[in-house]
Amino acid sequence: MKVKYNLIKVDKGCKARLGTLETNYGTVETPMFMPVGTRAAVKGLTTDQVKECGSGIILANTYHLWLRPGEDIVNEAGGLHKFMNYDGPILTDSGGFQVFSLAHNKKDITEEGVHFKSHIDGTKLLLTPEKSIEIQNKLDSDIAMSFDECPPASADYDYLKNSVERTLRWAARGKAVHKNPNQSLFGIVQGGPHEDLRRYSAEETVKMDFDGYSIGGVANDGESKEDMYKAIDYSIPYLPTDKVRYLMGVGEPVDLLEGVERGVDIFDCVLPTRIARHGQAFTRTGKINLNNSKFAHDFTPIESDCDCYTCKHYTRGYLRHLITVGESLGGSLISIHNIRFLIKMMEEIRESIKKDSFLDYKREFLSKYKN
C-alpha cells in the first residue's frame, strides 16, 4: 500500500500539524524526526538500539546502496527491511544530493542525468531519474524519493528557474517508470529562496499527484537560515493538506521548531550521528563538546533527566575517554543520546500541538537552548 497521511489537527497558534502516517510497517506519528542510515545502517547502532530511541521511519541512500552492495543483492536478500533487519518504515533518498556533490563540472549535469565518478574507485557513472527509481524499486523501501536537481546555495535565479523546470521533468520521468505497488513516491519542491519559483515548483509537482511532498534544496552549504525559512514559507501554502510534508536534510533543534511552526511533518538529518562521532552531544541548554578537557572529571550523565540508554548507564567522563582514545563505542553511545534527544523533542512537540501550545513550547525550548 501507499503511505496515508491523516491530519489530526493544526495548532491554533500557527501552522504546526499533528498527524499520523500509515505505512506497510506500522503507523507513525508526526511531526517526526527520521534518523539516517545511509548505507543500510544507522552508523554505529543496531536496529534494536535505533528502535529503542523511539524511531519511526529511518533513511537509507540509493546512491550508496547502488554502488555497494548493489540493489540486486539487497533485492535478493528480500528487500531493505530484511537485509538490514528493520521492521519499521524505511525511506530511500534518490541519490541526487550525493551525485550533485560528486559532479563539480557543469557539463556533467545533463538533461539525461548526472555524470560523475564513483567515490569508491573513480568509475565513471551516470545516474538518471529512471535509474534512481528503478534502484529504489528493487531496494523495496516504503518511500522512494524523486531524483531532483539539488543546486548549490550560491545558484542564481536563472539557474534555479531552469533547475525547477528540469526537476519537474525528471519527476515525471521517474514517476513513469515507478512500478513497485508497495512503495510510495514523493515529489520534491525546489526553487531556492524565491517565492515565485517555490510556488510554481510546488503547484506543478502537486499536479503530478505524488504520495507525499518534500521541500528540497535547503540546508545546503552556506545557505542562511533566513533563506531556508523562506523556502519553507513559500512552498507549504501550495502543498495539499492531506499529504505528508518532508523537509529534507534539516535537523538542528532550532530548525526543527521553525519547520514545525511552518507546517512541516517530517525531517531527516545526519547531524545527531555525525556530531556524535566527533564527540558532541545535544542538551537542553545547547550542544556540548565531550572532547573538552573539563569533562574528564565529570562523572554525571550527558543529561541526568534523559531517558536514553546512554544517560542511564554512562558518564560524561567515560564518554570523553572513549572519544579521546577513538573507541567507536563512544560515537555509538552519543549517537543514541542525540537521536533520542531529537525524537523525544518531537514527542514533546506533538504533545504541545495537542494542547494548542506549540508556540509556548518553542519559546520555552529556545529560552534554554543556547548555541
Q: Would you say 11 or 149 has its CB closer to RNA?
A: 149
Q: Are 245 and 224 contacting, i.e. CB atoms less than 8 angstroms apart?
A: no
d(CA 96, CA 209): 21
Q: Are 253 and 342 contacting, i.e. CB atoms less than 8 angstroms apart?
A: yes
121 included as an active-site residue = no
Q: Would you say 271 or 353 has its CB closer to RNA?
A: 271
Residue 306 Cβ vs RNA, minimum distance, rounded to whole Å: 19
φ and ψ at residue 221, rounded to 5 degrees = -55, 125
d(CA 339, CA 235): 27
Residue 264 Cβ vs RNA, minimum distance, rounded to whole Å: 12
Q: Would you say 27 or 328 has its CB closer to RNA?
A: 328
Q: How many CA atoms lie within 13 A of 348 on its CB side?
A: 16
φ and ψ at residue 79, rounded to 5 degrees = 100, 170
- Which of 11, 255, 265, 303 binds RNA (CB under 7 A)? It is 255
Residue 59 interacting with RNA (CB under 7 A): yes
Q: Would you say 236 or 323 has its CB closer to RNA?
A: 323
Residue 53 Cβ vs RNA, minimum distance, rounded to whole Å: 13
d(CA 356, CA 16): 9
Least Cα distance to 127 among 166, 160, 97 occurs for 97
- Which of 85, 162, 182, 292 binds RNA (CB under 7 A)? It is 292
Residue 134 Cβ vs RNA, minimum distance, rounded to whole Å: 16
Handedness of CA 47, 53, 55, 59 (dihedral sign): negative
93 included as an active-site residue = yes
CA distances (Å), origin 43, targets 84, 148, 266, 336: 12, 26, 21, 10
Per annotation, catalytic residue among 142, 148, 265, 268: 268
Residues from 71 through 130 that contact RNA (CB under 7 A): 93-94, 96-98, 101-102, 104, 117, 119
Q: Are 202 and 187 contacting, i.e. CB atoms less than 8 angstroms apart?
A: no
Residue 258 interacting with RNA (CB under 7 A): no
Q: Which residues bind RNA (CB under 7 A)?
A: 36, 38-39, 42-44, 59, 61, 64, 93-94, 96-98, 101-102, 104, 117, 119, 145, 148, 150, 188, 214, 216-221, 225, 248-252, 255, 268-271, 273-275, 277-280, 287, 289, 291-294, 296, 324, 326, 328, 331, 371
